[in-house]
Amino acid sequence: MPTTVQVFTDVEVNNQALSALGEDRISSLSDTNARAVVMREHYAAVTEFCLTRCNWRFATSKVTLSKLSGTPVSRWAAAWQLPNDKLKVLSTWPASNYEINGNRLLTNEQTKVDLDYIRVVPEGE
């Protein structure tokens, strides 16, 4: 028998935290009260922090990277475009040494790079 997993919205997660602190609930993160403002300021950072602490299966994706033109000015032979939703690199294939530089992955691999990574998970997914 499959287990049902309850999915919480961002407001429900924030309201659980507020409740644990003995504070009143909010109806939306766009509310203008002090509780909503504080929760809105910190929610994304806390969510990303939690996602990067473990290799969560639900937040793991695989992608073939696009090679960028030109050669990096460094010890690496090639630069590859990282996905916009990348939070944490788990591995590359073929396995190789690499360096993350902004939104680029620098490596000596020049033909193809597949990436396993932890991503930002959109609300409700």
The structure tokens 């409740």 sit at 19
Report helix, strand and coil shares of the chain as percent, to nearest 5.
25, 25, 45
What is the pLDDT confidence band of residue 2, given thresholds at 50, 70 and 90? low
Q: pLDDT tens, 12-32?
A: 999 999 999 999 999 999 999
- Kindly report the pTM of this predicted structure: 0.81
pLDDT tens, 60-109? Answer: 999 999 999 988 988 999 999 999 999 999 999 999 999 999 999 999 99
How far is 24 from 73, CA to CA, in rounded Å? 54
